[in-house]
Structure 1
Amino acid sequence: MNLPNKLTLLRMILFIPLLVLVILYGVLIQRGIADYEIAGRILLSLILAIFLAAMITDYLDGWLARKNKQVTSFGKLFDPIADKLIVTTTLISLSIFGFIPLWITILFVARDLIVDAIRVLMAQNNIDVKASIWGKLKTLTQTIAIIIVLVVAVAFNFSLILGWKSWLILYAINIPMLVALFFSIFSGYKYFQSIRSYIKTK
């Protein structure tokens, strides 16, 4: 197994501790995080660290595979799976914890499901849909938005903030998330255009 594939495998393994940390933080919220403030901050910090590690390995495995011409079927199949495990789990968790609106996460997930369905359909017809600049912008802005939310969540410990200030902070940190959502929906539309063009040629 080459290095890019090992990094992809590592990212898939990181999903396990991420899920454990998310569950533990959920337990703290149920018990009243005010009584476990330090533990809550530590758990959120670890979630942030795992997410950062996953995103760094995502960049590295793609870069190394292209640079060293080590693109493999394993990487093509499991790289996007690893990405979705990490990103989707993090998004759903942030919505459950109340850091981002649930409807934003639903739209992100719905878009990915539709695009994945399009990719499968195109692959069945031996057509390779290459990643567009819009898809790359979606990934970049989504990653930055999630990091911002996690950093602010660690810094301010939302569950202990009362009044209008907490809502102001929540609205502010979700502005980058809305930007990412725009690129997500628009890139999904561009993918749809690709398959529509194919259908018209049939």
Structure 2
Amino acid sequence: MNLANRITIARIFLVPVVILFLLLRYQFWAVTINNQTTTGSEMIAALVFIVAAASDGLDGYIARKRRLITRFGTFLDPLADKLLVSAVLISLVEMQRLPAWIAILIISREFAVTGLRLIAAAEGIVLAASRIAKWKTFTQIVAMVALMLNNFPVSYVGFPFADLMMYVMVVLTVWSGVDYFVKNKQIMDVTS
């Protein structure tokens, strides 16, 4: 197993670690600002999530740079991403920091685009991530971290950064999903 695939597998193993710290909400250390509390375990969860999310770019870079692209890695990498994002979104719903409809919308988009990619792969077509999809991913990470931290440290100035990023995340998620299907509608025509 090559290094890129090991990093991807490590990302999968970080998913339960993120969720454990996020839902544990152990207050060995906590910050309360404007009646919003962020616990130490939530901060650890956010840090582990950032490391896991950053590993996505790292494993892809290593695979391309060292020419280590494998079918196993091509299958596992997007699966690891979906597991991480879905687990955190569902946890944020459980914590009442994210409306369920947003989590459902984002997870549905991820499955729909994955399905499109699978259809394309069966036809021998590789769908590269578009610029808007990369912005969507970045925005998702920023929004989820802000929600995990309950808007800390921006809550010091009273600006609802987490809420703003949550809606930006929704807009870019929908936009990038529509963009994938519009730009690749010929794939759907081929399979009908």
Pair in the same fold by TM > 0.5: yes
CA distance in 2, matches of 1:107, 1:200: 25
Counterparts of 1:72-83 in structure 2 under 5 Å? 72-83=70-81
TM-score by length of 2: 0.82
CA distance in 1, matches of 2:24, 2:190: 52
1:162 aligned residue: none
Matched letter for residue 54 of structure 1:
A
Q: Deviations over 1:84-131 (max 9, x none)?
A: 111111111112212222221111011111111111222222222221
Q: Deviations over 1:162-187 (max 9, x none)?
A: xxx9xx76x54121121122111111
Matched, 1:151 2:149: yes
> 2:113 aligns to what SS in structure 1?
helix
Aligned length: 183
Q: What is the CA-CA distance between 1:79 and the residue it aligns to?
A: 0.8
> 1:122 aligns to what SS in structure 2?
helix
Matched, 1:185 2:148: no
2:162 aligned residue: 173
Q: Contact 1:45/1:154 (CA < 8 Å) preserved in 2? A: no
Gaps of 5+ in 2: 31-37
Gaps of 5+ in 1: 29-35, 159-164
Q: What is the CA-CA distance between 1:37 and the residue it aligns to?
A: 7.1
Q: What is the CA-CA distance between 1:52 and the residue it aligns to?
A: 1.1
CA distance in 1, matches of 2:59, 2:189: 36
CA distance in 1, matches of 2:58, 2:121: 25
CA distance in 2, matches of 1:136, 1:199: 23
Question: Computing the radius of gyration over CA atoms, which structure comes out larger, 1 or 2?
Answer: 1
Higher percent of residues as strand: 2
Q: Contact 2:46/2:148 (CA < 8 Å) preserved in 1? A: yes
CA distance in 2, matches of 1:19, 1:114: 24
Matched letter for residue 6 of structure 2:
K
Q: What is the CA-CA distance between 1:150 and the residue it aligns to?
A: 2.5
CA distance in 2, matches of 1:182, 1:131: 17
CA distance in 2, matches of 1:37, 1:95: 23
Matched, 1:17 2:6: no
Matched letter for residue 20 of structure 1:
L
Higher relative contact order (CA 8 A, sep 6+): 1
Q: What is the CA-CA distance between 1:200 and the residue it aligns to?
A: 4.1
2:45 aligned residue: 47
Matched letter for residue 179 of structure 1:
V
1:119 aligned residue: 117
> 1:187 aligns to what SS in structure 2?
helix
**Do the aligned partners of residues 94 and 70 (structure 1) sit closer, same or farther apart at CA in structure 2, a change above 3 Å counting?**
same
Between the two proteins, what is the percent identity of the paired residues? 31
1:128 aligned residue: 126
